[in-house]
Amino acid sequence: MRFSVTVVPTDRGAPLIDIARAVEERGLDGLWVPDHTHVPTSQRTPMPLHGEVPERYRRNLEPLTCLAMAAAVTSRIRLGTGVLLAAQRDPIVTAKALATIDDQSGGRLALGVGYGWNVEEMADHGIDPGTRRARTREHVLAMRRLWEDDVASYAGRFVSFAPCWSWPKPVQEPLPVFIGGAPTPVAFDHIAEFGAGWLPVGGRHLGDNVRRLRDHVAAAGRDPATLEVIPFTAGELSPAKVDALRAAGATEIAVDVAPDWSAARTALDRIAAIANGQAR
């Protein structure tokens, strides 16, 4: 079992480089950060599990910049987007940024992608919410061509570009892509097609959903044993919670940590103690 943290870095919280260093110093395995370019004030779309958007999501920093900075002050931990709103980003520019982070970090990037929930945010990017899942798929597949082909091209409904060169290439072949969110047929289709695994929110019914996902992946002709399942959890971590998530099929646990330094340090110490078998 791997142990990582997810944090929403803000302009008022602890510097992300300090949190990244602390994660690595405690022997933990990874750091995940989310993506919102902006949060429309209307808030007509309720945030899942929260309702009103928490303050830290209104002030979150840009994730790829954060991961690049975290890579510069660490040498071991995995650095992930949890999750990147790929449909709202230009795939050519984003592919180069992600490949650069993976190249310069020595192959430590993990790309978690999500479909998004904030309809007003999507509209500001010119995205029809009804197409966001199909767009996300195409953006990821187009980026993979840029990462994996010396001469890359793509022709789809939402993304199209003529043969081109784009370097650097990621160190990892392939760069691992995870799908975040609810256990929907579309999400499982995308994992089966191109995903390294699933980033569920919480552990409710995780065991049943992991079994369904593995069956889905096996039906597509892939080995389900290669999948990673990384639930993003909130609240204090306990050994009992770890045991339950492990039994349900989790391969890693990403624990939500507050961005202020005092709370983050306390939480990281607790997670490290559990990871090392020193807490009950």
Instruction: For residues 107 and 148, state if they share a domain.
Output: yes
How does residue 138 score in pLDDT terms, banded at 50, 70 and 90? very high
The mean per-residue pLDDT over the stretch 16-45 comes to 94
User: Distance between CA atoms of 153 and 139, rounded to whole angstroms?
Assistant: 12
Residue 255 belongs to a domain:
no
User: Nearest Cα to 57, choosing from 122, 105, 128, 9?
Assistant: 9
How does residue 277 score in pLDDT terms, banded at 50, 70 and 90? confident
User: Distance between CA atoms of 31 and 8, rounded to whole angstroms?
Assistant: 11
Instruction: For residues 219 and 132, state if they share a domain.
Output: no
Residue 72 belongs to a domain:
yes
Instruction: For residues 223 and 268, state if they share a domain.
Output: no
Handedness of CA 175, 84, 81, 97 (dihedral sign): positive
Name the H helices within 149-205. Answer: 185-194
Instruction: For residues 17 and 147, state if they share a domain.
Output: yes
pLDDT at residue 8 above 70?
A: yes
Instruction: For residues 198 and 59, state if they share a domain.
Output: no
User: What is the pLDDT of the chain when averaged over all its residues?
Assistant: 95
Instruction: For residues 54 and 143, state if they share a domain.
Output: yes
User: Distance between CA atoms of 146 and 6, rounded to whole angstroms?
Assistant: 28
User: Distance between CA atoms of 197 and 251, rounded to whole angstroms?
Assistant: 10
Domain span holding position 194: 178-230
Task: Report the chain's C-alpha Rg in angstroms.
Answer: 18
Residue 44: count of CB within 10 angstroms of its CB:
9
Instruction: For residues 11 and 76, state if they share a domain.
Output: yes
The number of helix segments (H) and strand segments (E) in the chain equals 10, 11
State residue 201's pLDDT score.
94
Residue 280 belongs to a domain:
no
Instruction: For residues 91 and 219, state if they share a domain.
Output: no
Instruction: For residues 30 and 137, state if they share a domain.
Output: yes
pLDDT at residue 30 above 80?
A: yes
User: Distance between CA atoms of 218 and 204, rounded to whole angstroms?
Assistant: 23
Show the tokens assigned to 50: 């929260």
User: Nearest Cα to 79, choosing from 27, 33, 115, 114?
Assistant: 33
The mean per-residue pLDDT over the stretch 245-262 comes to 95
Residue with tokens 């808030």: 43
Residue 259 belongs to a domain:
no
pLDDT at residue 280 above 70?
A: no
Instruction: Give the count of domains, the chain.
Output: 2
State residue 279's pLDDT score.
58
Rounded to 5°, the CA angle 18-12-56 comes to 100
Show the tokens assigned to 169: 């290439």
State residue 2's pLDDT score.
97
